[in-house]
Structure 1
Amino acid sequence: MKFLMNVLAMLWTVASSTLAVQQPAVASDNVGVRQIAAFSRERGIDLDVTVWYPASSGGKSVMLGESMFFVGTPAMLGAPISDGKFPLILLSHGAGLAGNAQALSWIAMPLAKQGFVVAAPTHPGNTGANRSATETMKLWLRPADITETLNAMDKDSFFEEHLEHDKVGTLGLSMGGSTALAIAGARIDAKRLAGYCDTDALNPSLCGWVRQSGVDLHAMDLTSAGRDNEDTRIRFAMAIDPAPVDVFEFNSFSRISIPVELVNLGQPGKIPLTAQAAKIAKAIPNATYSTIGDASHYSMFAECKPGAPELAEAEKIGDPICMDGGGRTRREIHTELIDMVTSAFSRALKASP
């Protein structure tokens, strides 16, 4: 485990330095990127927020999300924002190796190319040298991070005149997917959260780390776990392999009033139990559900570099981070996911009233 934490620390170092200047990349010439701070009253710190946006020419080429395992995605640091107003997508990442905003550049950049502003906070304690099992399992803080990011975007002088403030959606992957559901109105059941890691039946990778970190979920202060995190400014939510979905009060799904699109990666029987979304899709009044059968939970990671599977095995990562469902490449799966997400948010946020 110590070896894994060292690897995560190295990944955080790489992710934190990804705004270094790179060679220009034509594919990203019309996507700008900026860093802003969103103050979290509850955490008492500034959240680091990465924002991708439609851009005019200019800025400096940067590579985002690159690590020893994953390829990066180019964008233009500090480029002027394009004329006009754009819908806003609030993006929530997962935990672990993809536990920072820039790890999702592969999906944020094409959304910006299609005319969306995409803002993603890095949820504190979910990755890198400061990764904390306690902070990671405070799931109720994540939707609050999204709300604070929206507050900051609404007041940011660079973006405020370029946002369609009544057209806001949220997108989450893995633990970010459960974050999207929470901000749409689903409520965590504190008792279910306390018992989540009593066995390895639901999430052996996460729960093994929680126990090795000496964290007892039953002993955590879960007073705020079941609170209402709904943000009514958000008009649409999309969740890809949301996890953990089994800590929510099931009846709360029926009270979600906005449209929700749910996607599972994999075939029935191969989708992680804790990410199964078919039943909750039936419980949400205005929800759609689909699957990508030849994908896996790891398909939401960026494309792997040559030699990454062998490196991950050598570094004792434990999870098959470069394996998909078989058949297509990760790039092909990403193309389908990007098309699916772009179409969903275009219908929800761009269609004429």
Structure 2
Amino acid sequence: EISSYHPGTLESSKTSGLSSSSYELSQYMNGSDVLDSDMQPVLSSDGGESVRQTAAPLKYSVPHAVVSFGPVGQLIRVTPALSAQEKSSRLEIHSLELILSETQEQRELRNFPGPLTREDLHKVDAIDFAHQKAGVCMRDGQLADRSSAALLWNLLILLCRQNGVSQIVGSDIAELLMQDSHSDGSWKPDVPTLIDFDEHPAAEAPPAGGDDLLTGDPSSSGAERPERALQSYTQLLLAGRKKEALESAMSSGLWGHALFLASKMGSRSYITVLNRFTSQLVANDPLQTLFQLLSGRIPAASACCGNEKWGDWRPHLAVMLSNETGSGAVQQKAILTMGDSLASRGLTHAAHVCYLTAAASFGLFPQKAERLVLLGSSHSIIKSNNYYL
């Protein structure tokens, strides 16, 4: 037995800022303190002192053990005295390494090359460890979003190779995002888009007569062939009928001519042509995301990613990272919004990729509103199968 306390010690810890567990234990261990503060005598009618009674009930009816974690991997247990004759409490100090020596978690801790600030830690060791963890994520059948978990580790590998976030440009991360982007079929839109992410695209046949030159979709019944459409557009301009020529160019799919002419006719005409142009793209096309971002707006994909109808979120993040806008605040807010949308759908790893690329700051665990606390884990909902980084 080790007696580490004497009357009044733990009562003073209440005011000195020590743990509440120690203070709770003092209710049973320091009888003199408790009696002085909580026990008051009751006088009988004849002036004699009667049985004492408590002014306020104790938190616990019987003494109980208090367990706490020490700062160097220790488990500390204090068993209070169970009778009035016992003057001291039992203090036990255990090593967590010995207790958990045969567990999977302890074996992973032994293989962990950190902390990353250690002077003798080589970059190659950290990268090799991250490669192993990415492979473990891809082989884990119980992990809901294996590809995003592996992507988060691969992003850390990129950070290690480039010596930090400040040395990485958006195109570097975009290239990482688009590696094997739809090897699992996660992003194959049902309608044609303007971006082909295949490394070796097949040769495409020229659009049939009357097809839209932009999207390849069949034109409306009143549309003309490109040569005739251009001739009609030119004749309208020769006659000084600019508004009719602009409408003819848009209807015929001559968007280059339409955009140039509209830019000389005023901002209202230009915005009208832009809206007509973008409306022909499907909602989940990454070009829609880019055009909305370049217009100074938060793209719709930022709030809708993670939904099956929108497909893979990675092309949208890649196109935002690869194309810098005049307002860095809008770009950062768009990426953070995408991360929040993914987090709300339970895609924690994907959300953390967005937060890291947007340079979100890390917060504290008790503050549930913080976006980042521990990579790979949601601090608002702790689960046993989280891959903490």
TM-score range (shorter-chain normalised) is: under 0.3
Is the strand fraction higher in 1 or 2? 1
Higher relative contact order (CA 8 A, sep 6+): 1
Is the helix fraction higher in 1 or 2? 2
Q: TM-score scaled to structure 1, two decimals?
A: 0.24
Larger Rg: 2
Q: TM-score scaled to structure 2, two decimals?
A: 0.23
